[in-house]
């Protein structure tokens, strides 16, 4: 390299924010790993990662997720009149598509609409971070929150790289959430590769501007995780005196008991629709004036496959019910 060129490069780096933090800790090891595992070109991966920018705002966002709020503060973010009305409008606008996807994948239509509503307000807010920056920041600079998820984000970063060729994604430009979730349905790269569908049949899975692909992909995601159409999601339950509160689920919302067993343990569903042999679990939510308890079913668990927070699943469920009511009017 000539002296002049070296000097020019140094100057560009000095002046440009994009040149800061080029050498990410662990980036070379990561590149070697994906080169071996996925047969990618290590030098190309390193070159791409050198363009990834560390973002303090991403570290800050992952350190204080909305899901850390109590339910009574979380619910008003997502279950609003505006979002309910937006859901009814979205459903009416895409009625044939939603019906097609619901039928084809065996998923209740209001849940598809509600997920898109909670994720991106029906496609209006799909995230302003470069996915490359988000995934590199969370892979190489994961904050000390007591729950190190950097390995998860490294795997997602590798999956993202694969999407470059597979879906012709411009990896340097794609934008998404601070966690690297993409498109109207906010799919992480691994979910994009595994669950996205090309419903409009143009040969690409476009999760931004093809509403058939977006709606079909959300429906397929729920279907592949075990959605049971027409089955309940959650029902309120009033614990009896002496109820066994050890049965309240904390991290895993996969039903472990039957409705009848939970009733015997003090959580009897007031809802006559509850089927005694149905698998269920108990979820507790923090209300302003105490706790509420819910009998939740397999479908509730499926929503937590989209986002593992029970607050998320309950917000999607409540929004879906309100949208369904509005749609039927
Ligand atoms: Ca397509």
| Contact indicator for 185, 214 with CB cutoff of 8 Å | yes
Report the separation in Å between the CA atom of 90 and the middle of ligand 1, taken as the mean of its atom positions: 20
Residue 2, in any domain of the structure? no
Q: Are 294 and 57 in contact (CB under 8 A)?
A: no
Among 187, 202, 217, the domain-final residue is 202
CA of 184 to the centre of ligand 1 (A): 14
Residue 284 maps to a domain:
yes
Residue 73 DSSP label: H
Q: Are the CB atoms for 319 and 312 separated by under 8 Å?
A: no
Distance 217 CA to ligand 1 centre (A): 10
One digit per residue, the tens of pLDDT, for the chain of length 329 reads 445 554 554 444 555 554 554 789 999 999 999 999 999 999 999 999 999 999 999 999 999 988 889 999 999 999 999 999 999 999 999 999 999 999 999 999 999 999 999 999 999 999 999 999 999 999 999 999 888 999 999 999 999 999 999 999 999 999 999 999 999 999 999 999 999 999 999 999 999 999 999 999 999 999 999 999 999 999 999 999 999 999 999 999 999 999 999 999 999 987 666 788 999 999 999 999 999 999 999 999 999 999 999 999 999 999 999 999 999 98
φ, ψ of residue 97 in degrees (nearest 5): -65, -45
Centre of ligand 1 from the C-alpha of residue 98, in Å: 16
Is the domain of 188 the same as that of 41?
yes
Q: Is residue 116 part of a domain?
A: no
pLDDT at 30: 98
Residue 315 in domain: yes
* Ligand 1 centroid to residue 97 C-alpha, Å: 13
Give the long-range contacts of residues 256-259, CB within 8 A, separation 24 or more.
256/281, 257/281, 259/295
Grouping H, G, I as helix, E, B as strand and the rest as coil, residue 126 is coil
Based on the domain organization, do 312 and 180 belong to the same domain?
Answer: no
Catalytic residues: 119
Helix (H, G, I), strand (E, B) or coil at 53: coil
Say whether both 190 and 261 belong to one domain. no
Range 58-62 contact pairs with CB under 8 angstroms and sequence separation of 24 or more: 58/129, 58/133, 58/134, 58/137, 58/138, 58/178, 59/137, 59/138, 59/141, 59/142, 59/143, 61/178, 61/179, 62/138, 62/142, 62/143, 62/145, 62/149, 62/178, 62/179
Beta strands in the chain (DSSP E): 129-130, 175-176, 234-237, 257-258, 279-287, 290-297
Which of 178, 202, 226 terminates a domain? The answer is 202
Are 126 and 266 members of one domain? Answer: no
The answer on 171 and 32 residing in a single domain is: yes
Domain co-membership, 47 together with 193: yes
**pLDDT score for 1:** 45
User: Of 169, 80, 183, which is closest to residue 125 (Cα–Cα)?
Assistant: 183
User: Do residues 238 and 196 share a domain?
Assistant: no
Do 150 and 275 lie in one domain? The reply is: no
123 Rama class: left (phi>0) / alpha (psi -120 to 50) / beta = left
Find the domain containing 48 and state its range.
18-66+122-202
Residues 239 and 176 in one domain: no
| Residue recorded with tokens 């030098």 | 43
In a domain, 181, yes or no: yes
- What CATH number should be reported for the domain holding residue 59? 1.10.8.350
In a domain, 100, yes or no: no
Q: Is residue 269 part of a domain?
A: yes
Residue 238 lies in a domain: yes
CATH number at residue 305: 1.10.530.10
Q: What is the token pair recorded at 114?
A: 């509600």
Residues 50 and 146 in one domain: yes
- In a shared domain, residues 55 and 167: yes
Encoding tokens for residue 82?
A: 């505006």
Q: Say whether both 148 and 196 belong to one domain.
A: yes
The pLDDT assigned to 21 comes to 46
CA 201 to ligand 1 center in whole angstroms = 5
- End residue of a domain, out of 157, 187, 202: 202
Structural domains of the chain, count: 2
pTM of the model: 0.91
């Amino acid at each position: 390299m000539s002296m002049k060129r070296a000097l020019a490069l140094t100057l560009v780096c000095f002046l440009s924010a994009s040149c800061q933090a080029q050498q990410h800790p662990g980036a070379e090891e990561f590149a070697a790993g994906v080169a071996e595992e996925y047969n990618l070109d290590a030098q190309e991966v390193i070159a791409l990662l050198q363009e990834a920018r560390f973002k303090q705002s991403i570290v800050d966002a992952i350190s204080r997720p909305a899901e850390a709020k109590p339910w009574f503060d979380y619910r008003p973010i997502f279950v609003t009149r505006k979002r309910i009305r937006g859901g009814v409008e979205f459903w009416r606008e895409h009625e044939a598509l939603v019906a097609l996807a619901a039928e084809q994948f065996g998923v209740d239509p209001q849940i598809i609409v509600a997920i898109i509503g909670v994720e991106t307000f029906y496609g209006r807010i799909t995230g302003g971070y470069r996915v490359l920056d988000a995934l590199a920041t969370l892979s190489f600079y994961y904050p000390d929150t007591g729950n190190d998820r950097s390995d998860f984000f490294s795997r997602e970063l590798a999956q993202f790289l694969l999407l470059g060729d597979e879906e012709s994604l411009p990896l340097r430009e794609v934008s998404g959430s601070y966690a690297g979730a993409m498109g109207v349905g906010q799919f992480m790269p691994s979910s994009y590769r595994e669950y996205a569908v090309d419903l409009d049949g143009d040969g690409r899975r476009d999760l931004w501007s093809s509403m058939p692909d977006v709606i079909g992909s959300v429906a397929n995601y729920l279907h592949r995780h075990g959605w049971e159409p027409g089955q309940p999601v959650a029902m309120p339950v009033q614990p009896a005196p002496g109820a066994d509160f050890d049965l309240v689920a904390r991290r895993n919302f996969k039903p472990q008991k039957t409705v009848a067993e939970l009733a015997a343990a003090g959580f009897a569903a007031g809802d006559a629709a509850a089927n005694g042999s149905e698998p269920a679990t108990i979820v507790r939510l923090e209300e302003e004036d105490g706790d509420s308890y819910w009998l939740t079913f397999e479908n509730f668990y499926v929503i937590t496959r989209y986002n593992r927070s029970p607050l998320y699943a309950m917000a999607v469920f409540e929004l879906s019910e309100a949208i369904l009511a509005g749609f039927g009017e």
